[in-house]
Chain A
Amino acid sequence: MYRETEILQQTSPGIIGETGEFTINVGPQHPATHGVLHLVITLSGETIKKVEPHLGYIHRSIEKMCESLNYRQFIYVTSRMDYLSAHINNHACALCVEKGLQIEVPPRAQVIRILMDELTRVASHELWWGAMAMDLGAFTPFFHAFRERESINEIMEETCGARLTMNYIAPGGVVQDLHPDFQRRVKEFLKLYKRKIHEYDELVTGNIIFQNRMKGIGMLSAKDAISYGVTGPAARGSNVSSDIRKIQPYEIYDKLEFDEVLETGCDSFARYMVRIREMQQSIRIIEQLIDNIPEGDFQAKTKAVLKLPKGEFYTRVETARGELGVYIVSEGGTTPYRIKFRSPGFSNLSVLDHIARGSKIGDLVAMMGTLDLVIPDIDR
């Protein structure tokens, strides 16, 4: 029997006991959960008493699947985890394989990877911004966000051949060289972005209704953020320094100039501001690199069949949503013995119950939106 029907029967709206508490279902098909997330919420009047996530509607058992794929193949399955930062997922896996094989990635490939990472981050935050505003009832920002996002997708399509699941990274570098138009297109995008960015603040950030709905909602203290394993913009909104690009720099991030965005508000609005400001930092990184792509190989020479030595390898990467960890346990074969993806969404979701308790049901969307949950990333 399908689980959803069972739960719906168990928790059909109705008053339980004498306390007057009742449960409602949000999802698995609900526009504000942006995917098949199922929340069973216990309410007392309009106040949230408990939020209980039910996962697994899009669980594909990627970890088990990877155990039978070799070290070149498994990278591409991970594009399907967090599909909004697919490139960064691929990057994390390639870094882990390279760590095991001690492959030196050519400088050109490193720069290309970072450029793509930051473009992905901007595209992901754009989509989040549009969807977030739409959840709160403003429809126009969605189109504004997609206008800029579309030009990033076109850049991706030209070079990688795909818009969302790029699959552009291979162990040792990238799959193919940049499209000849890449630099021109990125510069055009930067120009467009700078011309339009003020609209974001005028439309949403400065809007008094929006601010009233976001400020003081979903309070998350720094201590709780660390304890719950919250990472990425959600943690940085609580003034927790958690940017892996700064803590454990990979590729050439330590040579680049950018700031880790921190806010002290601890509420939904702080988390919102972190992402808005982070887009500008990503643009800053792209500007530094776009005219300085070194010449040379785009891929290191690697063997056709990769065999990782016996041991354990762990890499941490900053995706658009937080820290992605790839943990490979190798027995010396061509496939991983065990692989674990520490996805940012899974830990970020676990804090939802904590921050939602005691607030009103109407504010749930404002809290969930700023956690930026991507469901396939949670379920894996």
Chain B
Amino acid sequence: MSKELLKFRITELLPTATFDDSGEWLNVELTAAEWPTLAGALCKDSHLALDYMFCLTCIDWKTHLTMVYHMTSTSFRHSVVVKVKLDRDKPEVVSVSKCWRTAEFHEREVYEMFGVNFLHHPDLRLLILPDGWEGKNPLRKDFEDPINMIRL
């Protein structure tokens, strides 16, 4: 599907979505409240069939956090990028691990690295960081560790 058609179809599913098609793939910008309904539709809709999530990550913009989901369709080969803006002090978004199983691990990584709380996640625990590591999120921009310096 071309970018125009994708845009048209996603607008049908969620009229309030805003788009940015200047990049390589179509970017869809949403709020955290809109995301769960659209996520379910994106993976199940027979015209979109975005069944493969190839990247899930987060960006710290110092004023807010942005969740970035890269999805592609293995049958039609079109891709969509979804961006969800989150509050930096209390970041919360619904987990999409039911739609894409790969999200389960990736969300655990984002949880510990950025402190995003994924609601309804089946097993939201630390994955990479040692147990007892709470409150500090290494990939946030204001993280400083004087003992184990990461910045070069």
B25 surroundings in chain A (CB, below 8 A): 314
Q: Enumerate 20 A-B pairs (CB-CB under 8 Å) in ascending A order.
A: A1-B132, A3-B130, A6-B131, A7-B131, A61-B150, A64-B139, A64-B150, A69-B152, A226-B52, A229-B52, A229-B101, A242-B74, A314-B25, A323-B54, A329-B59, A338-B59, A338-B60, A340-B55, A350-B104, A354-B101
Residue of B106, B132, B139 touching A63 (CB-CB under 8 A): B139
A354 surroundings in chain B (CB, below 8 A): 101
A316 surroundings in chain B (CB, below 8 A): 54
Complex Cα–Cα for A343 and B49 (A): 23
| Residues 135-151 of B contacting A (Cβ, < 8 Å) | 138-139, 143, 150-151
Cβ distance B118 to chain A, nearest Cβ, rounded Å: 15
Cβ–Cβ contact B127 & A55, under 8 A: yes
Tell yes or no: B129 within 8 A of A by CB: yes
B15 surroundings in chain A (CB, below 8 A): none
Q: Known contacts A228-B101, A350-B102: does B55 contact A314 (CB below 8 Å)?
A: yes
Complex Cα–Cα for A231 and B52 (A): 10
| Residues 335-379 of A contacting B (Cβ, < 8 Å) | 337-338, 340, 342, 346-347, 349-350, 354, 379
Tell yes or no: A312 within 8 A of B by CB: yes
Complex Cα–Cα for A338 and B118 (A): 21
Complex Cα–Cα for A77 and B52 (A): 28
Nearest CB in chain A to that of B129: its residue? A56
Nearest CB in chain A to that of B52: its residue? A226
Tell yes or no: A240 within 8 A of B by CB: yes
Tell yes or no: A325 within 8 A of B by CB: yes
Cβ–Cβ contact A227 & B55, under 8 A: no
Complex Cα–Cα for A311 and B22 (A): 10
| Residues 53-69 of A contacting B (Cβ, < 8 Å) | 55-56, 59, 61, 63-65, 67-69
Closest 10 CB pairs of A and B: A229-B102, A56-B128, A3-B130, A350-B105, A340-B57, A227-B101, A342-B55, A64-B150, A68-B151, A228-B101
Cβ distance A76 to chain B, nearest Cβ, rounded Å: 12
Q: Known contacts A229-B54, A327-B57, A350-B105: does B127 contact A56 (CB below 8 Å)?
A: yes
Q: Known contacts A61-B150, A338-B60, A340-B57: does B138 contact A56 (CB below 8 Å)?
A: no
Cβ–Cβ contact A327 & B139, under 8 A: no
Tell yes or no: B12 within 8 A of A by CB: no
Nearest CB in chain B to that of A64: its residue? B150
Cβ–Cβ contact B70 & A314, under 8 A: yes
Complex Cα–Cα for A338 and B83 (A): 15
Complex Cα–Cα for A347 and B104 (A): 10
User: How many A residues have CB within 8 A of the partner chain?
Assistant: 43
Instruction: Using CB atoms and an 8 Å cutoff, list the residues of chain A in contact with chain B.
Output: 1-3, 6-7, 55-56, 59, 61, 63-65, 67-69, 224, 226-229, 231, 240-242, 247, 311-312, 314, 316, 323, 325, 327, 329, 337-338, 340, 342, 346-347, 349-350, 354, 379
Complex Cα–Cα for A72 and B72 (A): 30
Tell yes or no: B19 within 8 A of A by CB: no
Cβ–Cβ contact A64 & B131, under 8 A: no
Cβ distance B71 to chain A, nearest Cβ, rounded Å: 11
Nearest CB in chain A to that of B152: its residue? A68
Cβ–Cβ contact A227 & B102, under 8 A: yes
A69 surroundings in chain B (CB, below 8 A): 152
Nearest CB in chain B to that of A337: its residue? B59
A346 surroundings in chain B (CB, below 8 A): 105-106, 109
The residue among A3, A229, A247 with the most chain B CB atoms within 10 A of its own CB is: A229
Cβ–Cβ contact B127 & A65, under 8 A: no
Tell yes or no: B53 within 8 A of A by CB: yes
Tell yes or no: B77 within 8 A of A by CB: yes
Residue of B24, B54, B77 touching A325 (CB-CB under 8 A): B54
Cβ–Cβ contact A314 & B24, under 8 A: yes
Complex Cα–Cα for A303 and B129 (A): 39
Cβ distance A38 to chain B, nearest Cβ, rounded Å: 11
Complex Cα–Cα for A63 and B113 (A): 11
B152 surroundings in chain A (CB, below 8 A): 65, 68-69
Complex Cα–Cα for A65 and B151 (A): 6
Residue of A2, A56, A61, A227 touching B51 (CB-CB under 8 A): A227
B57 surroundings in chain A (CB, below 8 A): 327, 340, 342
Complex Cα–Cα for A224 and B104 (A): 13
B24 surroundings in chain A (CB, below 8 A): 314
Cβ distance B119 to chain A, nearest Cβ, rounded Å: 20
